[in-house]
A and B are shown apart, each in its own frame.
Chain A
Amino acid sequence: MSERSMRRLRFPPASVVSMILVAAGILLWMFVSRGLLIVAGLGAFGPGILREAGVLRDQDEFQREASYRAGYHAYLVGGLSALLVLSAIEWGGGAVDESAEWLRLVVVVLWLTWLSSTLLRYWGSRTTAARVLTAFGAFWAVFVVATLIGDWSAAGSRADVMQDLLGTAVGVGVVVPFFGLAWSARRWPRATGLALVSVSLGFLAVFGRRRGLAWSTSALTDVMLIGPVLTSGLALLLDRDGEAGDVDGA
Chain B
Amino acid sequence: MTQQELADLAGVTRQTIHSIERGRYNPSVGLALRLAEIFGVPVEALFELDREGGPDE
Contacts and interface: CB of A to CB of B under 8 A. Distances in A.
Interface in A57-84: 60-63, 65
B8 interface: yes
A62 B12 contact: yes
Contacts of A124: 19, 24
A122 B12 CA distance: 13
Of B15, B18, B27, B28, chain A has the most CB atoms within 10 Å of the CB of: B15
A160 interface: no
Contact of B12 (A61, A123, A243): A61
Contact of A247 (B12, B15, B24, B28): B15
Contact of B25 (A7, A62, A248): A62
Contact of A241 (B11, B24, B28): B24
B23 to A, nearest CB: 9
Contacts of B28: 61
B14 A247 contact: yes
Interface string B7-44: 11001111110110010110110010000000000000
Contact of B13 (A60, A65, A241): A60
Contacts of B12: 7, 60-62
B31 A61 contact: yes
A245 interface: yes
A194 B35 CA distance: 39
B19 A4 contact: no
Interface residues on B, range: 10 to 19
A163 to B, nearest CB: 47
A210 interface: no
A246 interface: yes
Contacts of B15: 62, 122-123, 246-248
Nearest to B20: A62
Nearest to A127: B15
A63 B16 CA distance: 8
A143 B25 CA distance: 38
Contact of A62 (B8, B13, B22): B13
Interface in A1-48: 3-4, 7-8
B10 to A, nearest CB: 9
Interface of B: 4, 7-8, 11-16, 18-19, 22, 24-25, 27-28, 31
Shortest beta-carbon contacts, A-B, top 9: A248-B15, A60-B12, A62-B16, A248-B13, A7-B13, A62-B25, A248-B14, A60-B16, A61-B28
Given A124-B24, A241-B24, A247-B15, 16 more contacts: A7-B11, A7-B12, A8-B7, A8-B14, A60-B12, A61-B28, A62-B15, A62-B27, A63-B13, A63-B16, A123-B15, A243-B22, A243-B24, A246-B18, A248-B16, A249-B13
12 contacts: A4-B11, A7-B7, A60-B16, A61-B12, A61-B27, A61-B31, A62-B13, A122-B19, A124-B24, A243-B22, A243-B24, A248-B13
